[in-house]
Amino acid sequence: MNVLMISPGYPEEMIHFTRGLAEAGAQVIGVGDQHEGAMDPVARKSLAAYLRVETLWDEDALAAELKNKLRDVRIDRIECLWEPGMLVAARLREELGVPGMTVAQTIPFRDKEKMKQALDAAGIRTPKHYRAGTAAAVREAASRVGYPAIVKPIAGAGSADTYRVDDAAALEEVLPKLRHVEEVSVEEFIDGEEFTFDTICADEEILYWNISWYRPRPLIGRTVQWISPQTVIHRLVATAGGPTAAADDVAESVTPGVTKVRSFASFTAARNGMRLNRFIATTSHPEVCAIVSIRKARE
């Protein structure tokens, strides 16, 4: 199997996915804007070939260039485990005729407002949320949501450019910091501890699962620079219906056409009331990886 891996050497965790594909027997063809000589040796050794491009983010130019360079190569899958590149991967699948998630299927996993609209339509409680593209729209959305509120990019990742605002004065301090962000999501703030639920799947079966606890909460870890974040693994877990029951239920109701999304869930637990906050697919075929955030709200 020939797998086109987008950005095989960056960020750091992509190195291990690239190595894993190669060790599983795939011929991994990397494409990225990183110089091959600057790539981690493990990633470089795992590649059957590497195509360097000037940029990954000009989708039209990238698709045209790869069509030319790969015209004599059969590509079976296109993978991107890095959230910002998901739409690039989807566009390339369409342009190169490779099976997997389309652009239309991928957009709700990258656009936080469309994602929550899909969850709302499926009857799943999410934080109150509004899309905003101007400072005035952000202020209006915050007045509807109430304080404290969260303001974050519509297509962000890793809590970058994400702010908690406790009142209108705090919001005014944050707005200048978001001038470079085209659109934001203004959301109800949900208080609770955050966990991740990870699985490794093959042929729609779970081979391994794990639950971890983020310490401190991701937003705190991102904004307080002196803190060294921890991930604590929970080993003794008893759950009714099995470890993936909730993720499977959400996947079936929200993602028609995407096969058995059950791979990476993160959720926040407080005292009562469940709210699903994020649901992001990150690969291209039946072994779909996902991030599910289930937030339990404090009454």
Report whether CATH 1.10.10.10 matches the domain 129-188. Answer: no
Both structure tokens of 216: 């401190």
Task: State the pLDDT confidence band at 265, using cuts at 50, 70 and 90.
Answer: very low
Angle at 119 between CA 253 and CA 212, to 5 degrees: 90
pLDDT at residue number 282: 40
Fold match flag (2-99 vs 129-188):
no
Would you give the distance in Å from CA 230 to the centre of its chain? 20
Domain-by-domain residue ranges, the chain?
Answer: 2-99, 108-123+191-296, 129-188
Cα–Cα distance between 263 and 282 in angstroms, integer? 9
Task: State the pLDDT confidence band at 67, using cuts at 50, 70 and 90.
Answer: very high
Neighbours of 298 (CB within 10 A): 11
In percent, the amount of the chain with pLDDT more than 70 equals 77
What would the pLDDT profile of 96-129 be if each residue is shown by its tens digit? Answer: 999 988 999 888 888 888 888 888 888 888 889 9
> At the topology level of CATH, where does 2-99 sit?
Rossmann fold (3.40.50)
For the cut 90, the answer to whether the pLDDT of residue 70 exceeds it is: yes
User: Out of 70-84, 113-127, 135-149, which region has the weakest mean confidence (pLDDT)?
Assistant: 113-127
Q: Is the pTM of this model over 0.85?
A: no
User: Does residue 41 have a cis peptide bond before it, meaning omega lies within 30 degrees of 0?
Assistant: no
In which residue are the tokens 């239920």 written? 249
Cα–Cα distance between 265 and 258 in angstroms, integer? 16
